Amino acid sequence: MFDGYIFTEGSLSNVEVDGKVIGYEMRTRIPYYRGIPLSMVHDVEVEVDGTAVPREDIRFTADGGEHWWTLAEMETVTTFRWEYEDEATVRVLAPGGLAPGDHEVLLRVSARVAYIPVPFSGEMRRRVTIG
- Least CB distance to other proteins at residue 35 (A): 5
User: How far is residue 61's CA from residue 109's CA, in Å, rounded to a whole number?
Assistant: 13
3-state secondary structure 10-41: CCCEEEEECCEEEEEEEEECCCCCCCEEHHHE
- Binding piece for other proteins, criterion CB under 8 A, among 19-27, 44-52, 58-66, 74-82: 74-82
The CA dihedral of 54, 82, 33, 4, to the nearest 10 degrees, is -40
- Binding piece for other proteins, criterion CB under 8 A, among 10-18, 45-53, 101-109, 110-118: 110-118
**Nearest CB to other proteins, comparing residues 1 and 99:** 1
Q: Is 25:15 a contact under the CB 8 Å cutoff?
A: yes
User: How far is residue 34's CA from residue 90's CA, in Å, rounded to a whole number?
Assistant: 19
Residue 5 binds to other proteins (criterion: CB under 8 A): yes
Residue 18 binds to other proteins (criterion: CB under 8 A): no
- Least CB distance to other proteins at residue 65 (A): 18
Q: Which residues bind other proteins (CB under 8 A)?
A: 1, 3-5, 29, 33-37, 39-40, 42, 75, 78-79, 81, 83-85, 112-115, 117
